């Protein structure tokens, strides 16, 4: 499965970057998704395969922390780049004539996606893994983490809404025209 995934994602990466005459903003996103999938292919799949075979960790603490960081970053990056694809498609539907802004918007969103992947994976390097037999996570940590995640999601949606990401271009123009009309009436 690793070999098939590697071949297919390398082929997508080659095809997306081979023809330089037709550079579109979608090719940039597809290339980033292929890179994220290659990270999963070369880090997550072999790591999980070895872990399932050995059922114990033999490589030491530094390797454990580094590989767990890379594993989590690879999984986050796949999810976040998929979200960027969804946001790009949503923007293309709501604002079909704003294609000129798409490349810059996608670069910003992809930068945020990769940055969040790295930042959210850092605790794997910092936190110490306990080897206690019956260690249970307190319920307040589970509830607090869930509520914190929902709060962050709500704040992200609110920020995108305030920035006008969910507003159609026609509505923006109507709002601007109304504002300009009121200003002209006042003069």
Q: Give the residue numbers spanning the domain of 8.
A: 2-135
Residue scoring higher pLDDT (82 or 172): 82
| pLDDT score, position 22 | 66
The count of domains in the chain is: 1
**Ramachandran angles phi, psi of 176, nearest 5°:** -65, -40
Residue 69 lies in a domain: yes
146 belongs to a structural domain:
no
Per-residue pLDDT of 8-67, as tens digits, reads 988 888 888 887 666 778 888 989 999 999 999 999 898 888 888 887 777 788 888 888
pTM of full prediction above 0.75: no
Residue 158's pLDDT band, with cuts at 50, 70 and 90, is confident
Least confident of 52-56, 62-66, 125-129, 151-155: 125-129
Q: Is the pLDDT of residue 174 over 90?
A: no
User: Does 145 reside within a domain?
Assistant: no
What length does the chain have? 187
Residue 165 lies in a domain: no
At residue 75 the predicted structure's pLDDT band, cuts being 50, 70 and 90, is very high
The verdict on residue 71 lying in a domain is yes
What average pLDDT does the segment 169-185 reach? Answer: 64
Residue 185 has a pLDDT of: 65
How far is it, in rounded angstroms, from Cα 139 to Cα 15? 49
Which domain CATH number covers 29?
A: 1.20.1070.10
Which structure tokens are listed for 72? Answer: 């989590």
Q: What is the 3-state secondary structure (H, E, C) of 108-160?
A: HHHHHHHHHHHHHHCHHHHCCCCCCCCCCCCHHHHHHHHHHHHHHHHHHHHHH
Tokens (6 digits) for 168: 């159609």
Tell me what pLDDT residue 113 has: 92
Establish if 60 belongs to a structural domain. Answer: yes
Exposed, middle or buried by CB within 10 Å (0-12, 13-18, 19+), for 91? buried
Look up residue 97 and give its DSSP letter: T
Instruction: Give one DSSP letter per residue of 16-82, joined into a string.
Output: HHH-TTS--HHHHHHHHHHHHHHHIIIIIHHHHHHHHHHSS--S-HHHHHHHHHHHHHHHHHHHHHH
Structure tokens at 45: 């799949």
């Amino acid at each position: 499965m690793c070999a098939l995934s590697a071949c297919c994602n390398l082929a997508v990466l080659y095809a997306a970057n081979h023809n330089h005459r037709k550079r579109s903003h979608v090719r940039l996103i597809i290339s980033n998704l292929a890179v994220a999938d290659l990270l999963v292919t070369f880090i997550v799949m072999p790591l999980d395969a070895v872990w399932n075979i050995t059922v114990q960790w033999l490589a030491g603490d530094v390797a454990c922390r580094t590989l767990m960081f890379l594993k989590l970053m690879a999984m986050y990056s796949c999810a976040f780049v998929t979200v960027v694809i969804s946001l790009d498609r949503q923007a293309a539907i709501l604002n079909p004539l704003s294609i000129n802004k798409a490349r810059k918007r996608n670069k910003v969103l992809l930068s945020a996606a990769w940055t969040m992947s790295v930042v959210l994976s850092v605790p794997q390097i910092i936190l110490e893994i306990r080897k206690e037999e019956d260690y249970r996570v307190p319920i307040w940590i589970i509830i607090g983490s869930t509520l914190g995640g929902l709060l962050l999601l709500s704040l992200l949606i609110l920020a995108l809404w305030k920035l006008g990401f969910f507003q159609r271009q026609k509505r923006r123009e109507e709002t601007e025209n109304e504002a300009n009309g009121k200003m002209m009436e006042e003069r």
